[in-house]
Chains A and B, each alone.
Chain A
Amino acid sequence: MPSHQAPAREETGAQPRAGAPAAGTARPSRARPAWLAGALVVLAASMVAGLLGGAADISPWQVVLQAADWLPFVHVDSGLTPVEQGLLFELRLPRVIVAAVVGGLLAMAGAGYQGVFRNPLADPYLLGAAAGAGLTTTVAIVLLSVPGNAIPVAAFAGALGGVFLAYALGHSAGRGGGTATLVLAGVAVTSFLTAVQTFIQQFKVEELQRVYAWILGDIGGGWEQAVMVLPYGAVSAAVLLLHGRMLDVLSVGDEEAASLGLRAGRVRLVVLMAASLATAAAVASSGLIGFVGIVVPHVVRRLAGGSYRIVLPLSLIGGAAFLVLADLVARTVLAPAELPIGVVTMFVGAPFFVAVLRMTRRTLT
């Protein structure tokens, strides 16, 4: 240890009980109400913006009134015509909700994977989970004609398979595996699974258009899509949110976690399953939307702290807001044409990924 650090420590150590300033900090990290409230306000604002997007003759205030009117037991006159109301309710609202749910799930799944692998670069997209889910979903649609509501189950199997492959590959490639090894393995798995998936989708040319649209991120499926993703999303979100403290314990490593009486393997498995279910639900409904799982948890950590008890709930809310806004951009930037939403998230996410990579290189090793 450099000796020049000693005096500084001596100084601070010499006056320990002097004041009470530290007393206020002596509480565990938890998503503070202020942060939660702030995140919810951001989410609400982005949802209103999402509902507005593109329509010139609807004012934000009318959207807020109309949104209030949709709430049970609340009746407000928004002054919108039935056609405008129909547009909002049948097209925009489900779209915003699907974007919010999918974004929240992807961000939270990313945070969950990061906790399981103790790797800030883990992400459903980069780990092979999304590609695995994409492959099995394509197989389910193109080859097996599986009914729509069973597709997330197929996607779940694929997501787990993808993560397992990436992990096994990363583990065999580099013992102890640096943070980059797992991601490199994930990229290899993703490329391979995507190639297989592309091969299969070419089987049925009449499905090609649909599969393509879905793969690049399609959230315009209306209420049906929202209903499909919600139950799986709710289960995985509940499980992940309950495991925040466990992931904090896991962050000291398996051996120490075991010395604290934790069965690390079991916690890993449960969180891995939940994160993969969240990924599967998101991918099955909306295709491959990359980098949400890296961008959002990372921003949350910077702003609110590193404990998973904070990172998980705030990632859920932040991811929802992020994808709603990404969808807004996708719809408006080339209007009247639409950009696939996955393109928008990658545009933001890829540079971000490089930034995170640089930072981890500096702090780890």
Chain B
Amino acid sequence: MIEARSVSVRLGERDVLTGVDLGVGRGEWLAVIGPNGAGKSTLLKAVMGLVAHRGDVTLDGRPAARLRPRERARLMAYAPQTPALPADMTVFDYALLGRTPYIPYLGRESRSDREIAASVLDRLDLTAFAGRRVGELSGGERQRVVLARALAQQAPVLLLDEPTTALDLGHQQQVLELVDRLRRADGLTVVSTLHDLTVAGLYADSLLLIADGRAAAAGEPAEVLTEPLVGRHFDARVRIEPGPGGRPVVHLVRGGT
């Protein structure tokens, strides 16, 4: 579904990404992992076409660079790590923003746009919040509202930058389960950055480890989440065991002895 070849991004004087390849098939979930500042978010933005980059990104076989912004927005939806939430806007209006790529420049939304936004809110159990102001929501609710906006785009690809940041354990699980359910139901392709390695290994079909702006490893969770790889690139002492379903579980190792 998405193929990226040797993506490089230079911001100012710094090479943030150097020659990163990325591939994810239709209906699959790819998790991008790596230490802080490795370039995970930048990779997502490059795929979305939000930062200037070298290298080729193809979407469903079409070069992304040649897509017009609106076309691209119908193929890929993006939820940033810290979304700017207009506090005064109602939840329904916010979800309706996801219909922007389908509404003519100076036009207004159609009945079907409104119905799609309403049905997305319904799926995410947000119908009761439709008339509330976005600024009044709690962290978990906000995350779902942002997801609702992305889903209203009805794009086959979802790019999620740290969808679980700042959420407690239960809300993390809720959001991830939701994405997983929607992915299976609608055949969505998901690319997300995730900082929790065990969570990444649990939900993703494949992992891409980014370190220092380069792809350090890619493959199935058990191939990427190994003690040597994680130890080296995260500068951490960990023990990794096979968990349920053969998915690796990453433990920190305490103490110097």
Contacts and interface: CB of A to CB of B under 8 A. Distances in A.
Contact of B118 (A13, A26, A246, A262): A26
A253 interface: yes
Interface string B82-106: 0111111110110011101101011
Contacts of A306: 86-89, 133
B122 A17 contact: yes
Interface in B160-186: 166-168, 170-171
B78 interface: yes
Contacts, number: 133
B122 A255 contact: no
Interface in A219-273: 242-243, 245-246, 248-249, 251-253, 255-256, 258-263
A237 to B, nearest CB: 15
B77 interface: yes
A25 interface: yes
Nearest to A14: B125
A22 interface: yes
Interface stretch (B27-35, B67-75, B227-235): B67-75
Contacts of A358: none
Nearest to B134: A306
B105 to A, nearest CB: 8
B170 to A, nearest CB: 7
A8 interface: yes
Interface string A304-323: 01110000000000000000
Contacts of B78: 256, 259
A6 interface: yes
Given A1-B167, A242-B106, A261-B70, A249 B100 contact: yes
A3 B153 contact: no
A258 B168 contact: no
Contacts of B122: 16-17
B153 A260 contact: yes
Nearest to B92: A26
Given A5-B138, A306-B89, A261 B101 contact: yes
B130 A22 contact: yes
Nearest to A267: B105
Contact of B138 (A1, A26, A29): A1
Contacts of A118: 84
Contact of A255 (B80, B96, B126): B80
A145 interface: no
A243 B108 CA distance: 10
A261 B73 contact: yes
B126 A16 contact: yes
B109 interface: yes
B170 A249 contact: no
Nearest to B118: A26
A259 B126 contact: no
Interface in B54-74: 68-74
Interface of A: 1, 3, 5-6, 8-9, 12-13, 15-17, 21-23, 25-29, 118, 242-243, 245-246, 248-249, 251-253, 255-256, 258-263, 301, 305-307, 363
Given A1-B138, A25-B130, A258-B69, 11 more contacts: A15-B128, A22-B127, A27-B92, A27-B114, A253-B83, A255-B80, A259-B76, A260-B98, A260-B153, A262-B69, A307-B93
Interface of B: 45, 48-50, 68-74, 76-78, 80, 83-90, 92-93, 96-98, 100-101, 103, 105-106, 108-109, 114, 117-118, 121-122, 125-131, 133, 135, 138-141, 153, 166-168, 170-171
7 contacts: A9-B140, A17-B127, A25-B92, A28-B92, A245-B108, A262-B100, A301-B88
